[in-house]
A and B are shown apart, each in its own frame.
Chain A
């Protein structure tokens, strides 16, 4: 396959100047009635030192100018609705459109957060049932739907752990996190006031129970694990590890970001996990990227329920749904109202439309797809941990390095073949990492085209490495100087006219 012949990499793309460079005086988006008070110069109404000078270049635009501007910019975007998005660790699966349909039902889209409980029974029922479903999937006893993102779920979970230890009069101040965990874990722990101890994984990319045993002491509040880990490998000694942590009085937090590999097959709660967050925008097909909104519900075991965020949606003995605020030991609210409600509806729809068998099959297919790509590419790209993977696999640029080609070049080249690049330079424990997660929603045909593109890039790295250094060449903007952009960020439009050019 030649990258010149790949479809989907060219099209009708408009050049689009900045809004500040468009429009003309007098143009506008709405018609205002005539002014019925005497007109006064702004300088007579607002003190001169309070006036923003730079806004005087503000563009005058019509509605159609603005609509075309943003629609054209949106055409420069890439999304799961356009093509393959193998961004490892992010689970960029296709988001079924029925999720959108259901989220737009007026009972969901027009519900007001201050509406009385008796008039919000459908919305409360949806939240109650979603909590129950997630509890069942994760093997947890209760779920709070409030956190607005994965890292937010981590923070809420760590706050619950802290409240639990404090209620027992214990002042544990350390959290152990493996080097194969998600990057947000140390940040969430630090934000919660904990000191982070990093634990190195072994030569097989896994954790040794002996290393956990050695690191655990009475100061450790929690062990924060990601399973499968960021190498896409299942922690085989998880039962032994959680047992060690519990024996020394610690709790186990599991980052649920990689739940897409085990959903319906194995439950973190059964592995000794005490707190688990779910990334609805990964595993449960709600929109991911572009600033969200996301949702990171946090699941907990029974002994932690008193500390969970309020309000908690409950069902009484006559089948009515209620918001319970009576949790005196609660860590409090972590989000306005009840979480990102519209996102919860989409995840609920996904679970209900897939069913338990469907969810299990999604995980099985996600793992099969990842292993297919891994097996097809491992002769072409260095595979640091060469074993069966879960939902993603991690390669490196070691083979290509000898020709001066790096992971960045490979990622940039993929754009010319019409594919979003995989996650690069993460996890940090693999030098020049290329992390590929196809998800279950891709067909074999799509994966085969991706594999062919990757093989072609490997071939060009051998025969014509210089051509990769220039990639991408078919995009609207070709290779950017990322170093210059980071060192000399130019983030504001500057009006030459006002800056004295005139």
Chain B
């Protein structure tokens, strides 16, 4: 399982990469592995608002449908439109090509609530016991 350093993680298995005050968000390697083959991703529109730890979209795999939880609050400034036609890139490249949304954060303090790579690794180990 790959949980890159430098990213922040949520209990709901999303990751955040902070760049120039913007938060790029996707789901972790563990999440894509647990979901299995992803067949559909529903994302918000650019310009909409997301709230920390509330659902912003839906990811559907062959075996289940899950809400996507936003790690931070703010305005959606970008969505990965590639996922519409090729949702499988979430499986093959969860941290890079499979990113989901980009958010202009309204409260950077929310980042303090998130896990580091080490903390998240520990959390996943406990959860999969």
Contact = CB atoms under 8 A, between A and B. Distances in A.
A408 B40 CA distance: 19
Contact of A486 (B34, B39, B64): B39
B14 interface: no
Contact of A424 (B37, B40, B63, B88): B63
Contacts of B63: 407-408, 424-425
Contacts of A425: 63-64
B34 A487 contact: no
Contact of A487 (B64, B87, B128): B87
With a 10 A CB-CB cut-off, give which of A408, A425, A431, A483 has the most chain B CB atoms.
A483
A482 B34 contact: no
Nearest to A482: B62
A381 B40 CA distance: 31
A483 B64 contact: no
User: Interface of chain A, helix or strand or loop or mixed?
Assistant: helix
13 contacts: A407-B63, A408-B62, A408-B63, A425-B63, A431-B128, A482-B62, A483-B39, A483-B62, A486-B37, A486-B39, A486-B40, A487-B39, A487-B88
A424 B63 CA distance: 8
A483 B34 contact: no
Contacts of A431: 34, 128
B6 to A, nearest CB: 28
Nearest to B40: A486
Contacts of B128: 431
A431 B124 CA distance: 13
Interface string B72-95: 000000000000000110000000
Interface of B: 34, 37, 39-40, 60, 62-64, 87-88, 128
B127 to A, nearest CB: 9
A382 B69 CA distance: 30
Nearest to B66: A428
A497 B30 CA distance: 47
Nearest to B54: A195
A229 to B, nearest CB: 19
Interface size class of A (residues with CB under 8 A): 10 to 19
Interface in A193-239: none
A486 B37 CA distance: 10
A148 to B, nearest CB: 24
Interface string A383-422: 0000000000000000000000001100000000000000
A428 B35 CA distance: 11
Given A483-B37, A486-B40, A428 B64 contact: yes
A198 to B, nearest CB: 10
Interface string A89-102: 00000000000000
Nearest to A486: B39
Interface in A461-502: 482-483, 486-487
A486 B35 CA distance: 14
Nearest to B88: A487
With a 10 A CB-CB cut-off, give which of A407, A425, A428, A486 has the most chain B CB atoms.
A486
Interface in A259-307: none
B99 to A, nearest CB: 19
Given A431-B34, A431-B128, A487-B39, 5 more contacts: A407-B63, A425-B64, A483-B62, A486-B40, A487-B37
A342 to B, nearest CB: 33
Nearest to B128: A431
Contacts of B37: 482-483, 486-487
Contacts of B40: 486
A164 B67 CA distance: 31
Contacts of A486: 37, 39-40, 60, 62
A428 B65 CA distance: 10
Nearest to B85: A487
A483 B40 CA distance: 10
Contacts of B60: 486
A71 to B, nearest CB: 31
Contacts of B88: 487
A32 B37 CA distance: 53
A445 B24 CA distance: 57
Q: Across the A-B interface, give the 9 residue pairs with the lowest CB-CB distance, nearest first.
A: A486-B39, A483-B37, A425-B63, A482-B62, A487-B39, A425-B64, A483-B62, A486-B62, A483-B39
Contacts of B64: 425, 428
Nearest to B60: A486
Nearest to A483: B37
A187 to B, nearest CB: 11
A407 B63 CA distance: 10
A488 B47 CA distance: 29
Nearest to A186: B67
Nearest to B64: A425
A487 B37 CA distance: 9
A446 B92 CA distance: 43
Nearest to A408: B63
Contacts of A408: 62-63
